Amino acid sequence: GAVVSQHPSRVICKSGTSVKIECRSLDFQATTMFWYRQFPKQSLMLMATSNEGSKATYEQGVEKDKFLINHASLTLSTLTVTSAHPEDSSFYICSARGVQGARRAFFGQGTRLTVV
Partner 1 sequence: DQQVKQNSPSLSVQEGRISILNCDYTNSMFDYFLWYKKYPAEGPTFLISISSIKDKNEDGRFTVFLNKSAKHLSLHIVPSQPGDSAVYFCAASVAGTASKLTFGTGTRLQVTL
Q: Point out which residues bind partner 1 (CB under 8 A).
A: 1, 4, 6, 9-10, 32, 34, 36, 41-46, 49, 51, 91, 93, 95, 97, 102-110, 112
Cβ–Cβ < 8 Å for 108, 21 = no
Q: How far apart are the first and last CA of the chain?
A: 36
Strand partners of residue 47: none
In this complex, which beta carbon is closest to partner 1, that of residue 9 or of residue 83?
A: 9
Which backbone phi and psi does 50 adopt, to 5 degrees? -125, 140
In this complex, which beta carbon is closest to partner 1, that of residue 10 or of residue 16?
A: 10
In this complex, which beta carbon is closest to partner 1, that of residue 34 or of residue 81?
A: 34
Q: What is the 3-state secondary structure (H, E, C) of 67-98?
A: EEEEEEECCEEEEEECCCCHHHCEEEEEEEEC
Q: Could you say which DSSP state residue 65 is in?
A: T
Shortest reach from residue 83's CB to partner 1, in Å: 25
In this complex, which beta carbon is closest to partner 1, that of residue 77 or of residue 97?
A: 97
Shortest reach from residue 47's CB to partner 1, in Å: 11
Shortest reach from residue 4's CB to partner 1, in Å: 7
